[in-house]
Amino acid sequence: TIHRASTTAPVNIAVIKYWGKRDPKLNLPTNSSLSVTLSQADLRTHTTASCSSSYPSSDSLILNGSSQDVSGARTQACFRELRALRKAIEDGDDSLPKLSTFPLKVVSENNFPTAAGLASSAAGFAALVRAIANLYELPSSPTELSRIARQGSGSACRSLFGGYVGWEQGSASDGSDSVAFQVAPAAHWPNMRALILVASAAKKDVSSTSGMQTTVATSSLFASRAAETVPRRMNEMQKAIQEKDFEAFGKVTMMDSNSFHATCLDTYPPIFYLNDTSRAAIKVVETINTAAGKIIAAYTFDAGPNAVIYYLEENEAKVAGLFKAALGEKDGWVGKRGDAIEANGE
């Protein structure tokens, strides 16, 4: 027999960025962060986990049809934690099949280009962890699964929840309190939209994992960002979401993206994720907001030149419309996608 379970997990895009690890092994961050989970329909990873005593002896992982190395510490940590939870259940009930002793096979498909640098590791590890948890019939809560997914990729812990999601940095050295939490469900502020602009020069030249390590080691701006700027903005952002105050949400989103990219520039050697294409998008957002006389659009950039523009549905024509008219391939943009923000079913 082959035992099998499937799930999907959506991409999340941070409005307060995670950048810096206090423990690289457990993936414990130097600051809390906050993101919006995107709609499942648009950007998500679909994963099937299976196990069988008849499988070849080692675990395997296939992503978009190609075989991946599972020997890395992050994947191993997720497999190990999930197996331990399953084993504890098996030890208490002799009638259960000993799935924890069987080799695992994980098959994942992204419905968006993995190479485009669109937070694929977040959806990927969130789906991997939940698929195996389903396969093992674990009673684990999304909070518990977020603690495991964090060890695969930090940002993945936030994709275990839908809507508006925080990741509490925590203080325990074993990482037990470094977990995701839901700030508000998507239904609380359902007219939030995200426009994804994919730049042609989309390949990351510095991975987030190595980039943040170099920032922690060399940037002098980093310490005040982690200790003062982000804690203050976490409070401002949660308040903006509770009050559905788009101007505050947008301003903090843009300022935190700017702060993150400033610490990247302050890293030695410097890290440049934004390019001329990205800066053109920033200018379009400023033009839109100036014309509106208030903030109706907000940009944010992760570890690459792609832009994500947040706006409210009622401003669709003014924001997405202008973007579609203003930016084309000649400016370096190869893809545009507007996604409704919806809960992931939790």
Q: How far is CA 44 from CA 84, 114, 127, 238, 344, in A?
A: 27, 11, 9, 25, 10
Please enumerate in sequence order all residues whose Cβ is within 8 A of that of 263, keeping only pairs 6 or more positions apart, or say none.
Answer: 19, 215, 219, 221, 222, 225
Residue whose CB is less far from ligand DP6, 122 or 135: 122
Structure tokens at 240: 């903006």
Alpha helices in 72-227 (DSSP H): 73-91, 120-135, 142-152, 208-218, 221-224
Residue 62 and residue 109: Cα distance in Å, rounded? 8
Least distance to ligand DP6 from the beta carbon of 271, Å? Answer: 11
Residue whose CB is less far from ligand DP6, 264 or 327: 264
Least distance to ligand DP6 from the beta carbon of 31, Å? Answer: 9
Chain length of the chain? 346
Least distance to ligand DP6 from the beta carbon of 230, Å? Answer: 11
Residue whose CB is less far from ligand DP6, 18 or 246: 18
Residue whose CB is less far from ligand DP6, 136 or 273: 273
Structure tokens at 259: 């702060």
Least distance to ligand DP6 from the beta carbon of 156, Å? Answer: 7
Residue whose CB is less far from ligand DP6, 108 or 121: 121
How do 3-10 and 104-110 pair as beta strands?
Answer: unpaired
Least distance to ligand DP6 from the beta carbon of 331, Å? Answer: 23
Task: By CB under 6 A, name the binding residues for ligand DP6.
Answer: 14, 17-19, 27, 33, 121, 153-155, 208-209, 302-303
Burial of 252 (0-12, 13-18, 19+ CB in 10 A): buried
